[in-house]
Chains A and B, each alone.
Chain A
Amino acid sequence: MAKTTHPDQHLIDGLVSHEATAINEIYKRCASKVKSYIVFNNGSVDDAEDIFQEVLVDIYNQAKYKHLQLTCPFEPFMLMVCKRKWLNALKKKSLLQVTNNEDDLLSVGEDTFLMAEQLEAQNEKARIFLDAFKKLGDRCQEIIKGSLQNDGQEILAQTLGVTYGYLRKKKSECMASLYKMVQAKLGNHGER
């Protein structure tokens, strides 16, 4: 059964359309809490600012490109995602013991936790895709990145000094190589 979209969805819609009122409301509701949590847990105000902005950009991208629909209140969702991102950052700095303890996931079932989990999973996949991309040759990277960033592939072909047909063929080969690397990393068909 499809879940109902939460009324706070207007905050995400506002974020996507750069609406000052909605973005202000997000900061008013969440900024002080995220700051308190991070400063309270071995971080600085600058760390809090970075984490807050990174999470907003993540949410923005998920909403803009993947039509993220909020099924829980925005505030706990934002706080949960910031908390997880900060804990991951601490783990990378080796300030926290890295663990696969499943106890932390026992409370999953709440919409907030589920949405935070989904966003984290998307980010983890994105990291794997980007790692694979970086292992491609320079020419492949140039073609894939250029075609994803530019409006017209014909213009890209001209810029790269190749024919449009060659560009499509080369991009297919490059993307197939990328897919195979992702598949090798994730197993099966590249699913997780």
Chain B
Amino acid sequence: MANDKILQTARYVEGDMDDKESLAYETQLAADPELQQYLANYREINLSLAMQFADNTALKEVLAPLNGKYFVARQKVPIWKWLSRVAAVLLFGLLIWAPWRAKNLADKYAINAKMEIVERGNTNEDLETEVANYFNQGNFKKALPLLEKLHKAHPEDAFNTYFYAITLAKTHKTTQAINLFENLFAGNSVYKEDAAYQLAIIYLQQKNNAQAKKWLAKISPENLRYEAAQEIINELK
């Protein structure tokens, strides 16, 4: 019976019925919810396949130059520049982070976040590039006021908020950082669970293991930080 209805539906849609059969199908259709559902599903399958077989070449040709403009990998840095940057980072690390100290969990599992420098064509572009340069160089003191300015201008911008919160944490303005990360977690941006992870790292630095575990537990298994979060939870047991 069901097979009959499916074939009849296919014949009706494809114009393979004569007038008498079409009329009979339409009469049955008006009184048969199951047949109505078959017809709706049939049209959905037909439309979905039409979408998948559609030729999107024209659209892709429009997108191609923009892809080239907005998705450019950062230029390779000459080796001497790279070595001098490494040396600067190491020196900075020696002075500020004191790596000879025993590594704790916070150090071990901290995220080495980088701000991507991409042309966005907006009015803040120069400022954003400057911020990203400072941030990626580890110069958080210089990045901080600029990120604060960007955040005040666009508090809804999760990208800037996330990096502003990291910078606050790096410059020991922990309470403000926690507030921002909590706000990010309360929202629905792509940084939601990364914010939870960052909160856990802050609490680990403060030796507040209970709070750290609380935030780590909020990280879902599909998040990239999940395995690290579980490892920390296990180490805290």
Set of chain B residues within 8 Å of A10, measured between Cβ atoms: none
CA distance A103 to B221 in the complex (A): 9
Contacts of B43-82 to chain A: CB distance below 8 A: 44-56, 58-60, 62-63, 66-67, 69-73
Contacts of A95-131 to chain B: CB distance below 8 A: 96-97, 99, 101, 103-104, 107, 110, 112-113, 122, 125-126, 129-130
Task: Judge if B7 is at the interface, Cβ distance under 8 Å.
Answer: yes
CA distance A34 to B79 in the complex (A): 29
CB atoms of A65 and B10 under 8 A apart = no
Instruction: Write the nearest CB–CB distance from A150 to chain B, whole angstroms.
Output: 10
CA distance A57 to B58 in the complex (A): 11
CA distance A28 to B122 in the complex (A): 7
Task: Judge if B116 is at the interface, Cβ distance under 8 Å.
Answer: yes
Interface size class of B (residues with CB under 8 A): 35 or more
Q: Which of B41, B47, B116, B222 is the one whose CB lies under 8 Å from A36?
A: B116
Contact mask for chain A residues 14-42; partner B; CB cutoff 8 A; 1 contact, 0 none: 01001010011001110111011101111
CB atoms of A129 and B49 under 8 A apart = yes
CB atoms of B53 and A110 under 8 A apart = no
Tell me the number of A-to-B contacts counted with CB atoms below 8 Å.
Answer: 185
Q: Which of A65, A83, A110, A176 is the one whose CB lies under 8 Å from B50?
A: A65
Task: Judge if B104 is at the interface, Cβ distance under 8 Å.
Answer: no
CB atoms of B49 and A41 under 8 A apart = no
Whether A125 contacts B16 in the complex (CB less than 8 A), given A18-B59, A18-B62, A57-B56, comes out as no
Q: Is the interface of B mostly helix, strand, loop or mixed?
A: helix
- Closest residue to B73 on the A side, CB-wise? A45
Contacts of B152-184 to chain A: CB distance below 8 A: 158-159
Set of chain A residues within 8 Å of B141, measured between Cβ atoms: none
Set of chain A residues within 8 Å of B70, measured between Cβ atoms: 27, 31-32, 35
CB atoms of A179 and B42 under 8 A apart = yes
- A interface size (C-beta, 8 A): 76
Whether A27 contacts B38 in the complex (CB less than 8 A), given A60-B56, A145-B53, comes out as no
Task: Judge if A148 is at the interface, Cβ distance under 8 Å.
Answer: yes
Q: Which listed segment binds B: A1-9, A155-163, A166-174?
A: A166-174
CA distance A80 to B189 in the complex (A): 7
CB atoms of A35 and B71 under 8 A apart = yes
CA distance A183 to B189 in the complex (A): 36
Q: Which of A35, A49, A66, A168 is the one whose CB lies under 8 Å from B15?
A: A168
CB atoms of A149 and B41 under 8 A apart = no
Set of chain B residues within 8 Å of A28, measured between Cβ atoms: 120-122
Task: Judge if B115 is at the interface, Cβ distance under 8 Å.
Answer: yes
Task: Judge if B113 is at the interface, Cβ distance under 8 Å.
Answer: yes
Instruction: Write the nearest CB–CB distance from A191 to chain B, whole angstroms.
Output: 6
CA distance A32 to B48 in the complex (A): 31
Contact mask for chain B residues 182-210; partner A; CB cutoff 8 A; 1 contact, 0 none: 00000011100010000000000000000
Contact mask for chain A residues 169-192; partner B; CB cutoff 8 A; 1 contact, 0 none: 101110110111011000001110
Interchain Cβ contacts under 8 Å between A and B, 19 examples: A23-B62, A35-B118, A36-B116, A36-B118, A36-B159, A40-B114, A60-B56, A65-B51, A99-B222, A129-B48, A130-B49, A148-B50, A175-B13, A176-B7, A176-B10, A179-B38, A179-B41, A179-B42, A190-B45
4 closest A-B pairs by beta carbon, nearest first, are: A32-B118, A31-B70, A49-B71, A172-B10
B residues near A, CB below 8 A? Answer: 2-3, 6-7, 9-11, 13-16, 34, 37-38, 41-42, 44-56, 58-60, 62-63, 66-67, 69-73, 113-116, 118-122, 158-159, 188-190, 194, 220-222, 224, 226-227
A residues near B, CB below 8 A? Answer: 15, 18, 20, 23-24, 27-29, 31-33, 35-37, 39-42, 44-46, 48-49, 52-53, 56-57, 60-62, 64-66, 76, 79-80, 83, 87, 90-91, 96-97, 99, 101, 103-104, 107, 110, 112-113, 122, 125-126, 129-130, 133, 144-145, 148-149, 165, 168-169, 171-173, 175-176, 178-180, 182-183, 189-191
